Structure 1
Amino acid sequence: MTDRGANLLTRAAKKHTSGGWTAGRITAVVVGGILSLVALTLVGLGGTALTMGLQDDGYINLGTDQYAHHTDTYAMSTESWRADKDFGGLYEDLRITFTPKDSSAPVFVGVAEKNGAHKYLDGVEHVTIHDSKPGGDVTSKHNGGKPSTNPDQADVWMVESAGKGAQTVDWTVKSGEVQAVAMKADGTPGLSGHVDVSAKIAGLAWMGVALLVVGLLLLAVSVIWLIRKPIRLARGTA
């Protein structure tokens, strides 16, 4: 065999071994698939965040309206909490709606700083709701009498709403411990109803746009990777 023939056989062997789905090319396909999956996940999250940020003024229902609340006392109060710390401090605004079981009942809803709520409820028979379950609230009762003044006449509330039927307050989140209080607007005992809490997350729409852009860019990179790396190189010549 001549040197020229040997060279031709060597080149043919190299072409044969370079063709087909080698381990490296299979790995490239797997990597491209993983990139595509991550990209589609980001696109899905981004689309969801953008939709939630644009509908209903950006408020997200926190699912509290599934529980019914009832008290024979003069008021029901939440525990004190720091909304500026909840969800990593991303809450921008809170919307609280109390819908009474009796739509003709005069209802009051208010949000106050912890000290302000304690000041008004001091000496008033009321309950503090610690947890809500389908079977009823977990509460602690505070003995006392009727309030000395109707709630809408007190000056402790940061936001408040009073009237017949469902009452809603919108509160811009601030630092510090706060409490939400619901009671009859005329100061009489006994109240039943549902509480609907919604939250607006700061920058949710922009967060959605960012996730969409990153996801689409990553998807484009994964498609290019899949086309140019394993599929194109896998076309070998026997």
Structure 2
Amino acid sequence: MSSAVRVEASLDPDLSRWLWLVKWLLAIPHYLVLAVLWLAFVPLTVVAFFAILFTGRYPRAIFEFDVGVLRWTWRVQYYTYAALGTDQYPPFTLADDPGYPARLEIDYPERLSRGLVLVKWWLLALPHYLLVGLFAGGGLWLWNTSDDGFRWGAGGLIGILVLIAAVILLVRGEYPKPIFDFVLGLDRWVIRVGAYAALMTDDYPPFRLDPGGTEPGPPAEGPAEPERNRPAGAGWTSGRIVSVVAGVVLVVLSTGLLTGGGTLLWLDRAVRDDDGYLTVSGTYRTDTYALVSERVRFAAADGVPATRALGDVRVRVTDLGAGDVFVGVAPTSAAERYLAGAGYATVTDLSSGELTVHPSPGSPVLPWEAGIWTVSAAGTGTQTISWPDQAGDWTLVVMNTDGSAGVDVRAEAGATFPILGPLSWVLLLSGALLLAAGVALAAVAVTRVSKEFSPNR
């Protein structure tokens, strides 16, 4: 039975004993290019998904691009640690290279099931994914993300068998043909599943190992490709590949800008209180004489004063013991001198109420006698202070009015953030422009390739 996915390879008769030790280094340029190509492969396959869902057809230009990425990946993996079957350096091209010993062809499907596209890539292919995980180790053909970024893997049964073959090659100067045939059968299985998961065919991958470098049976019959009607160099040229990849990168960047702009717009329009403040609050308790904020610096880089980014700042403090409470803001240097030798606690996390205690047996003078405050309030119940942000280092201090130890309060800090609305629109507009540019770059390249594959040419 012929297959729509054909994986072919021939074993080089005179493989180097040692070159496989450094192929991971030699292949780095390919890995870098493939990383970018796969970045485009995934969103283009998503576009193909919706095209199949609504029209029953895989857009021809996207199909040729995706096949080219799989073909390029197969050549590089055949050269490296999915087979080590050749010492010929892989070409940098999406197109088929008849002279290279590893080849991949996938017949273009004229029609695809609109219903199967909803389930075949995750539900129907699940049994194969379990097997492919054992064969390839989960990282040979797919992106694998971790805390240290993207990486390729060649683990699993394929990696073990190739390692055994490499050691034998190093010692005897000969690649064991039985291992080669078995490894190629596993590679072929992985690629068939990959093509099915990428929606390129409705033919369910067989649960069958077809060993050896040659596909069993005759090539699948399909519509003749009108190559003679296309000019030399047509299809996915380097310029068009760059255009699509650049377009995808711009679209990815635009999603970050649009998400950030939308979030800021939501904060600006929906989260403010009745007085226009965005606030955070918490309950704080310490056995020391004062609660102190961390140093707050209202300044931009290189000492340039901030341009009123926070707008008006407001702090509300309520003593939970129903006593008198003092709240004041002072320059950080003055606040540090005032608290020197006294026990106090610094609020290091507003939301959780986490404190860092600075123990000391001394006590400060009464707060209203200090004369250091830029703005302050004292009394029973909720005390509120507000002031416009201004350049400098500032510290907020909360104490009992009588200067006694043991502060137990609920505090709320907020600011008007006047820059929030304009900034959100700047991000949204920038994101929209990047999105339009990215879609245009990708669409122009795809459209031109589609026209060259059109049977009406």
Normalization by structure 2: what TM-score? 0.40
Q: Is the 8 A contact 1:110 1:182 kept in 2?
A: yes
| AA aligned opposite 2:262 | G
Please state how far the C-alpha of 1:139 moved relative to its aligned partner. 1.6
| AA aligned opposite 1:139 | V
* Partners of 2:421 and 2:403 in 1: CA distance: 41
Alpha-carbon spacing, 1:28–1:95, altered in 2? closer, same or farther (3 Å): same
Alpha-carbon spacing, 1:228–1:119, altered in 2? closer, same or farther (3 Å): closer
* Partners of 1:163 and 1:18 in 2: CA distance: 86
Aligned counterpart in structure 1 of residue 246 of structure 2, from 31, 35, 39: 31
Please state how far the C-alpha of 1:110 moved relative to its aligned partner. 0.7
Alpha-carbon spacing, 1:110–1:20, altered in 2? closer, same or farther (3 Å): same
Alpha-carbon spacing, 1:228–1:146, altered in 2? closer, same or farther (3 Å): closer
Paired residues in the alignment total 219
Q: Which has the higher strand share?
A: 1
Alpha-carbon spacing, 1:46–1:160, altered in 2? closer, same or farther (3 Å): same
| AA aligned opposite 1:83 | R
Q: Give the structure 1 partner of residue 413 of structure 2.
A: 197
Q: Give the structure 2 partner of residue 84 of structure 1.
A: 298
Unaligned stretches of 5+ in structure 1?
A: 1-11
* Partners of 1:140 and 1:87 in 2: CA distance: 30
Please state how far the C-alpha of 1:128 moved relative to its aligned partner. 4.2
Q: Is the 8 A contact 2:278 2:415 kept in 1?
A: yes
| AA aligned opposite 1:142 | S
For residues 136-175 of structure 1, give each alpha carbon's deviation from its aligned partner in whole angstroms, at most 9, with x where no partner exists. 522212333473x4x3465432122233344332232223
Q: Which has the larger radius of gyration?
A: 2
Aligned counterpart in structure 2 of residue 15 of structure 1, from 197, 211, 229: 229
Larger relative contact order (CA 8 Å, sep ≥ 6): 1
Q: Give the structure 2 partner of residue 178 of structure 1.
A: 394
* Partners of 2:353 and 2:373 in 1: CA distance: 31
Q: Give the structure 2 partner of residue 159 of structure 1.
A: 375
Alpha-carbon spacing, 1:234–1:146, altered in 2? closer, same or farther (3 Å): closer
Q: Is the 8 A contact 1:77 1:181 kept in 2?
A: yes
Tell me, what secondary structure is at the counterpart of 2:391? coil
| AA aligned opposite 1:140 | H
Q: Which moved more, 1:24-33 or 1:104-113?
A: 24-33
Q: Give the structure 2 partner of residue 212 of structure 1.
A: 428
RMSD: 3.7
1:101 equivalent to 2:316? Answer no
Identity of aligned residues (%): 29
Normalization by structure 1: what TM-score? 0.70
1:228 equivalent to 2:444? Answer yes
1:139 equivalent to 2:354? Answer no
Unaligned stretches of 5+ in structure 2?
A: 1-225
| AA aligned opposite 1:40 | T
| AA aligned opposite 1:106 | D
For residues 60-98 of structure 1, give each alpha carbon's deviation from its aligned partner in whole angstroms, at most 9, with x where no partner exists. 44x6x45x532334333345x252147994544433333
Q: Give the structure 1 partner of residue 148 of structure 2.
A: none
Q: Is the 8 A contact 1:76 1:127 kept in 2?
A: yes
Tell me, what secondary structure is at the counterpart of 1:234? helix
* Partners of 1:75 and 1:163 in 2: CA distance: 16
| AA aligned opposite 1:36 | V
* Partners of 2:236 and 2:337 in 1: CA distance: 76
Please state how far the C-alpha of 1:20 moved relative to its aligned partner. 8.1
For residues 193-236 of structure 1, give each alpha carbon's deviation from its aligned partner in whole angstroms, at most 9, with x where no partner exists. 34443345462321211111121122222333333331244223
For residues 107-146 of structure 1, give each alpha carbon's deviation from its aligned partner in whole angstroms, at most 9, with x where no partner exists. 22110123543565567x4414274596952221233347
Q: Give the structure 2 partner of residue 7 of structure 1.
A: none
